[in-house]
Structures are given as structure tokens and as C-alpha cells.
Amino acid sequence: MAEKKDNRNIRMKSWVQFIVTVTAIILLVSAFNSIRLRVDLTEDRRYTLSEPTLAVLDGIKDDIYIQVYLDGEMPVPLKRLRRSVGEMLEEFRIVSGKQIDYEFINPADSRDARQRDAQYSELYNKGLNPVNIQAGDEEGGSLQKMIFPGMIVNYNGIEVPVNFLKNNQSVSYEQNILHSMESLEYEMIQTIAAITSDTIYKVAFLEGHEELPEVEVADLTINLAKYFTVDRGTIGGKAGILDNYSAVIVAGPEKEFSESDKLVLDQYIMNGGRVIWLFEEVAVSADSLVQGESVGLYHPLNLEDQLFRYGARVNPELVQDLECMVVPLSVTTGAEQKQIVPAPFVYYPLLSPNQNHPVTRNINKVRGLFVNSIDTVGLDPAIKKTILLSTSALSRTLTPPLLISMREASQVPDEKYFNRPGLPVAVLLEGTFPSAFKNRMTGKLISDRNFRLKTESSETKMIVISDGDIIRNDVRRSGTTATPYPLGLDRYSGQMFGNRDFLINCMNYLVDDNGLMELRSREMKLRLLNKPKIRTEKTKWQLVNIGLPVLLVILAGMIYGFFRKRKYTKIVNE
């Protein structure tokens, strides 16, 4: 009788322990769900959001819905990128108080080819760039598949595309995936900050000096319009006409600037305005090259003295670079038949970005056409100078006047003459600048009687680029219709250069006052498996990864069984 009572007590005690344990687990889970505790233990802090990102997410007032089109069957590196996108969006969702919601969509999910093509066309028209990949099929084979590594951000009826896959052809596939993961936070939060901001910055293209026409900067204008209000207009010597603009662009002028226009620009800079200067001091007609020859002539724009005071000088010399674009060249074969062959043209250099600055980090090489070089001048400690673009190690300069012929592309250049490496082509100037009109009479230049000359700027920045063609997109003309090509697209090779990314980054850097551009400096380590070691130790590591966990589970079960048996045997014996 006593034995039955003891067994009943043991069972009751076990049930009480079980109920208490389950209740404690439920309470702990509920407590942890209500407390947001996240710890980033990675060496490169890849799961830690920056302070500017936290500020943007904290300021979101309405819900944001994000559609990510990187889903479905794809190679392992892209799956890794997809996982990083999901992790980043989940961080955004939690920090924003669940005001950000997202969904992964496979655009190739439909079995109807017509419906699938319609989906592809719609995504392309919305601004997502497709990529062709090799993917496995259900029968174990492989097939060509189109994916869209990007997302559409929806906010208050506004849709903005974000492409986050880098395609820098100068680095490996794995490096491109890594660079894409490094820039995820910036690409996403920059778009979210732009569409949720109460303030929309205004930027302007200057006119009146035979700058590039609107159709030839249309691609950049369209892409800048995602972040800014973009205008065009003349200065007309009117003081303060630029004061409402956060930045202005001087895009490939061909006519000299008047002193009154220069003064308006100068005072705009003195009051904290930002400027992107894009021009050359050597005029070359690229259209004349269609006939085979053109002439390069010195063509000053009356900006030399002004930029010299700010700390830069565009040199009147043409750059040649052995690292350059190829052009289609007509040659005659032995049978006197003409053929079109690709040939390098040293006047079209491929400019190298500075990988240590957020403006140019991880972008493709930038295509240049008839580029000049830049010198940084002066020793003013208040002005910081940073080279953003430069030529390769095999470059040189030629002084005008000079004859330029397409026949040069068919000749093999002698490397010993290309002895001026790393010529600067784009430079960033930051700090406080002296006025170019200090100690000058300005009464006749400005009609406004209340005008007062400011001789030193507040903290500001500008970018000087010695090639107006960097901003120019090609145009397809059919009758009266003009259609712009994407900026940086080489129609001959189909390669996309980094011109668009470079200029958008330039503008975002100049206007950025919340530190978002610094996110582009984030660096992650590429941790690849040791392939020789995989081949030699494959079986060993397979056994370790598959067999060891099973053995540990069996061992833990045996230890648990041993101590449990020992415990209850002791209780029964008592």
C-alpha cells in the first residue's frame, strides 16, 4: 500500500514539474518577444545599422511596402545576396516599428510564357535591370533564366526602383556579390530617405553658355529626379537666383562665361552652394571623326581664374591612355573587302575610380571622351582636395593644336611614351573657399544696389571634372523623335560603364547633410572556402559535419538515460 502511495506521489511530482517547466518556458518566450534584444557578433558589424539609418527609420510616418524580385532557383552567391537582403529588410522592419513590410517575389514563377514575359517587361519599364543566369531545372539539367536583383519601394502611391546587384567587370563575380552586400544598407535607406523626407532638395542644370542640351543629359535627369526636383535655366547676371538650389551642374559649356554670371556663381558658393563643374579647355568635334579626322584646339571658357582661386586648374591638354575603349574601325582585308573590327582608341580613356572614397567606391570604370587633366593648386589648409577619377598607369598628354584621326586606332602605340601615370580627371574640393572677386570692383557687374560681396564661403564643397562628355548620354534619332540611351552605355560593346553611378553619387554626396553617403564606405571581408583543401580533405569534413552531430546526440541521450535511471533507481530503493 505504501509502495503504491509512493509511486502516486512520484507521478504527481513529475506532473507538477512538467507543468511548472512548460509554464516557465511560455512566460520566458512571451517576455523575450516583448523585449527587442539583438546582438551583432560579426567582426565586420554587418548586422548593425548606422546612426543615419536609424534616424531615417525613426522618422517614417506612413507604411512602406517593398517588393523584392530576387527569389526562386538561382546560384549560391545570389542566394547569399538574397539572404542578406532579407536580413537587412527584417532589421528595417523591426527598427521602424513594423512600418516597413516586404515580400519576396519570383517573377519567373508563372508557367505561362506570355504572362511571364509581360511581367519581365513591366519590371524593366519600372527601372529594374535584368540579369541572365544559368539555373537548374526539375530534370536535373540547366537552363537560361532571367532574374531581377532589385526591389520596388512603394510609399503613398509612389514607386521607386532599387537595383542592388553590382556589375563591375573589372572584379570577379564573388567580389561583385560582396560589393552588392556592402552597399545594401545605403541603396535601400537612400531611397527610403528620399521618398519619406518632408524636404525635397532642388538642383539645377545651368543654361546660357551652350551647355549640353536637355536630351543629352536626359538619362541623368531622370535618375536624379528620384531624389531631387530638377530644373534648368540661365543665370542672367541676377544675384541670388541660385539661392533656392542645393546644387547646380555646369554640364559641358562651349561659350565663355560673362563676369556677371561668374560673380553670381561665386556668391552662390560663398553662401554654401554646391557645384559640379564638367568642362574641357580643349575643344574637339567628335562628329567630325565620323569623316575620319578632327582638330583639337585650345578653347578657354573664362573660368580659369575662378577655379584657380578655389584650388583646381583644368589643363589645356588632351589625355591619351592605353587603358581605353574600343571603337569600330573599318579595315581593308587582302581581298580588298572592308571589315569592321574593334580597335582601342587612346582618346577615349577608361578612368579609374578612387576605391577609398564613398563617392567612387565599388563603381565601374568611367568612360571618358577627349579628356583633359586637372591640377590641384594652392596650399590653403582650409580646402581639402580628393582625387575621385584618374587615368591608368600608362597615360600621357598632348598639347593643342593637334590633329586627331581614327587611323590612330589601327596603330600600335609605343608604351615608353605613356609615362604620366594616374593623371587626375575629377577632384573633390571641400572646405571654406575665398571669393574669386575679392579685392575687385563688382559694382558694374550686378545691377542690384543692395548687393554686398561676401569674400569667404561658409563650409561647402564642389567637384571639378575635366570632361563634359562624362555626363552626356548617346541619343537615338528617328525623324523628329530623339530617344536617350542609358548614360554610360557603350552601344558598340553593350558594356555599361560607371558614369551614371558616379554622377548620382557626386550629387548625393554634395547635397547629403545626414551622413548617408558614408555608408558606402562599409567594408565586409570575403570569406571563401579553400578549394585545394576541399579537394584533399573532402571526405574528412563530410564525416565531421554529418557524423559528429549524430554522435553527439546519441552520447547526450546515453548520458541523460544513465543519470535518469540512477536517480529513479535510488528513489525506489529508498
The whole-angstrom separation of Cα 367 and Cα 386 is 20
Q: Which fold has domain 200-497?
A: Rossmann fold (3.40.50)
Helices assigned H by DSSP within 249-325: 259-270, 304-310
CA 219 to chain centre: 16
User: What pLDDT sits at residue 395?
Assistant: 95
Question: Hey, which residues does 370 pair with through a beta bridge?
Answer: none
Q: What local confidence, expressed as pLDDT, does residue 533 receive? A: 75
Helix (H, G, I), strand (E, B) or coil at 350: strand
Helices (H), 450-537: 499-511, 531-536
Alpha carbons 311 and 378: distance in angstroms, whole number: 6
**Pure H helices in 401-489:** none
CA distances from 37 to 14, 31, 86, 494 (A): 34, 11, 19, 48
How many CB atoms neighbour CB 281 within 10 A?
Answer: 20
Nearest partner of 432 among 240, 244, 249, 272, judged by Cα: 272
Spatial separation of the C-alpha atoms in residues 69 and 58, rounded to whole Å: 26
Q: What is the DSSP letter of 464?
A: E
- What is the SS3 assignment for 208? coil
User: What torsion, rounded to 10 degrees, do the Cα atoms 498, 504, 506, 511 define?
Assistant: -170
Could you give the C-alpha distances from 271 to 176, 239, 405, 456, 461, in angstroms and in order?
Answer: 40, 12, 45, 9, 11
CA–CA separation, 574 vs 346, rounded Å? 97
CATH topology of domain 53-194: Glutaredoxin (3.40.30)
Distance in Å from the first CA to the final CA of the chain: 15
The radius of gyration of the chain's CA atoms, rounded to the nearest angstrom, is 31
pLDDT in tens for each of the 574 residues of the chain? 555 555 666 667 777 777 888 888 888 777 766 555 555 555 556 667 788 888 888 888 889 999 998 888 888 888 888 898 888 899 889 888 888 999 998 888 877 788 888 888 888 888 888 887 765 555 555 566 778 888 999 988 888 888 888 777 767 777 778 888 888 888 888 888 888 887 788 999 999 999 999 999 999 999 998 888 999 999 988 888 999 999 999 999 999 999 999 999 999 999 999 999 999 999 988 777 766 788 899 999 999 999 999 999 999 999 999 999 988 877 665 556 677 777 888 999 999 999 889 899 888 899 999 999 999 998 889 999 999 999 999 999 999 998 888 878 778 888 888 999 999 999 999 999 999 998 888 878 887 778 888 999 999 999 999 999 999 999 988 888 888 999 988 888 888 899 999 999 999 999 977 777 777 766 655 555 666 777 777 777 778 888 888 888 888 888 877 777 777 676 656 5
Give dist(CA 455, CA 139) in Å, integer.
Answer: 74
- Reduced to 3 states (helix: H, G, I; strand: E, B; else coil), residue 101 is strand
- Counts of helices then strands in the chain (DSSP H, E): 12, 25
The vertex-397 CA angle with 391 and 402, nearest 5°, equals 135
pTM: 0.80
Q: 498 vs 9, 363, 394, 488, 565, CA distance in Å?
A: 78, 6, 21, 6, 70
Where are the extended beta strands (E) located within 421-527?
A: 424-431, 460-465, 475-478, 481-484
Domain ranges of the chain: 53-194, 200-497, 529-574
